[in-house]
Amino acid sequence: MVGRHAARSRRAALTALGALVLTALPSAASAAPPPAPGPVSTAARTLGAHQPSAQVLRAMQRDLELTPDQAAARLVNEAEAGTRAGLLRNTLGDRYAGAWVSGATAAQLTVATTDAADTAAIEAQGATAAVVDRGLGELRAVKEKLDAAAARAQTARTPVWYVDVRANRVVVQATSASAAAEFAETAGVEGRDVGVRVSAHRPRVLEDLVGGDAYYIDGQARCSIGFSVTKDDRQGFATAGHCGKPGATTTGFNEADQGTFQASTFPGKDMAWVGVNADWTATPDVKAQDGQKVQVAGSVEALVGASVCRSGSTTGWHCGTVRQHDTSVSYPEGTVDGLTETTVCAEPGDSGGPFVAGAQAQGTTSGGSGDCTNGGTTFYQPINPLLGDFGLTLKTTSAAAGTPAPQDNAAADAWAAGRVYEAGTTVSHAGVRYRCLQNHQAQGVWSPETTPALWQRV
């Protein structure tokens, strides 16, 4: 048995793909003192930030260099900021240009608008206004042109592109400025609409039912479990699409038969789910430091600048911050759109593992560069699109059993637990109309009238 396990470990290490190092960028966040103690907000209470996991707090202190008080304050501030940003997004409409948090405790929320007349409304929500030239919709339209061009152009020299809300521009990471210019020209995008981040290297996928535990694919490759999910009466887990194709079989960390890939998308997206046999039970648990566990309460999307922590079967438990959402990455195997870039480190074998923000599931590890000795960049596939595309229900501490509502516009009017909602979506519930403030999968205990952190009455 020992020899077999050692051979399996060697095969897994050989199968895992290596990572490359990106040029480091200086941090724009400046330290700020923690806010004065005060009552816990409805937003923080709803999203569980007022009762943070000790494992999350300790990892944030280590990786973000925070004091215990700063780590606790940061989670509360991030929860509050997400709700305030959602309210302003609904108020500003097409003028909204994104939001982000900054400072050691994320005490500063900045909301961008294309109209200086919105400054008073933004400041009334306790945020700083940034007046910019382009709305978020315009920026996304530019990125969509790059997405379309990637299907017909070689992107080896331009492996990453994304919407940078803090800089109010679309950025292309390229091996040279000329490569970025060529990509922009192919996409029909004006040079002034695209910023360039020069790096000599490119990300690769981190190849190699507690989130973060190892599992093996067809007895060869190794990846990490993301989040436990259910579909009808079937239990399973979410993971990275590049880890396996539909029909591939899996064994667990203990080499026991585990399950089969039910669906997988890669490239384009990097998402998959594995249905497990009766020997495995879905839980809301994610593996943290030293074998301890944290539990997931939902899937509310974190803002740019917010803290996130990752678990993986190679490097364990590490934290960092969100750099930007809506990032496209051109891996050697093909382009993946809609990823989130973070400052968290990862290494081969961590692929598929979970990212959490406080008690909220964020996504599954896709790929990146660097390592956990010298630091690196890691991308994750957001969990809400994965749940929506595959019709899955996230296993949480509060989720009621049931089947997700169908993800089609015709059935979208009535609020339903299990449905994935995007910010700005309007629903009806108990005869009242509500507008969504933050991307999330609805939990049974999060009905609109009881969850002002996620829903605004209209």
Catalytic residue positions, numbered: 242, 270, 351
Query: What CA–CA distance (Å, rounded) separates 21 from 42?
Result: 41
Q: How far apart are the first and last CA of the chain?
A: 63
Q: What are phi and psi of 46, to 5 degrees?
A: -65, -40
DSSP characters over 65-128: T--HHHHHHHHHHHHHHHHHHHHHHHHHGGGEEEEEEESTT--EEEEEES-GGGHHHHHHTT-E
**Cβ atoms 89, 99 nearer than 8 A:** yes
Query: What CA–CA distance (Å, rounded) separates 388 from 238?
Result: 12
Cα pseudo-dihedral 192, 198, 201, 206, rounded to 10: -60
The tokens describing 56, both together, are: 């999350």
Which residue in the block uniquely carries the two structure tokens 């535990």?
A: 213
- Specify whether the backbone of 375 is left (phi greater than 0), alpha (psi in -120 to 50) or beta: left
**Cβ atoms 102, 108 nearer than 8 A:** yes
Q: 342-364 b/e with 16+ CB inside 10 Å = b?
A: bbbbbbbbbbbbbbbbbbbbbbb
Strands 194-198 and 169-174: parallel
Whose CA is closest to 270, among 214, 206, 315? 206
**In this structure, how many other beta carbons lie within 10 angstroms of the beta carbon of residue 112?**
27
Which residue in the block uniquely carries the two structure tokens 């280590």?
A: 62
The tokens describing 98, both together, are: 């994104």
Beta strands, E only, 288-359: 293-295, 307-312, 316-331, 334-342, 354-357
Is the dihedral angle over the CA atoms 270, 271, 277, 281 positive or is it negative? positive
The tokens describing 267, both together, are: 């490239």
